[in-house]
Amino acid sequence: MRIKFGNIVEIKTPTGLAYAIYTHRDALCGAVIRVFSKLHTVRPNDFTEMINGDIQFITIYPLQAAVNRKLVTIIGTVPVPEHLRAFPLFRTAGLPDPKTHRVYHWGFWDGEKEWNMDELTPELRKLPIRGTWNHTLLVDRITEGWKHEMDPG
């Protein structure tokens, strides 16, 4: 099965079924998925509540490879909702100062261009982190309730 924008992805975790929606693709990095906060004990019949629910995090994930290896299951396809159509703004960290371990010169990427800023505000800390996650990390982050602002960077 070839992945398509709007695919609803089922991810089995030790604590329940998680769901994500495939919204964008970056030619260099891969599939952008948005993982919904709510875990389920059984597969929902209707995706409406899910796709309008809270997002736990956004990440780049090798979705086609995961589907091919049966690590995740595509359970349906919906039009990408209006509120999820914009490419997400990602943050990246520069190198930490070896003495203070504090990161200076944060980077940002909007899918097309990159720029830097010296300070990371609490609001900017909530941005997704640019990087491709493997399946183990994806499941671990879902299970632990991880959110972008929890990143120590």
Residues 23-60: tens digit of each pLDDT: 999 888 899 999 999 999 999 998 988 899 999 999 99
Residue recorded with tokens 């070839």: 2
Helix (H, G, I), strand (E, B) or coil at 43: coil
- Looking from the CA of 150 toward its CB, the CA atoms found within 13 Å total 8
Q: Tell me which residue of 32, 5, 30, 8 sits closest to 19, measured CA to CA.
A: 8
Query: Has residue 152 got a pLDDT over 80?
Result: no
Q: Which residue type, as a one-letter code, is found at position 78?
A: V
Q: What is the mean pLDDT of residues 110-126?
A: 88
- For residue 34, what pLDDT is reported? 98
Q: Specify the pTM.
A: 0.91
Q: Which residue type, as a one-letter code, is found at position 37?
A: S
H-helix segments, 17-106: 48-51, 63-68
Q: Tell me which residue of 23, 35, 31 sits closest to 66, measured CA to CA.
A: 31
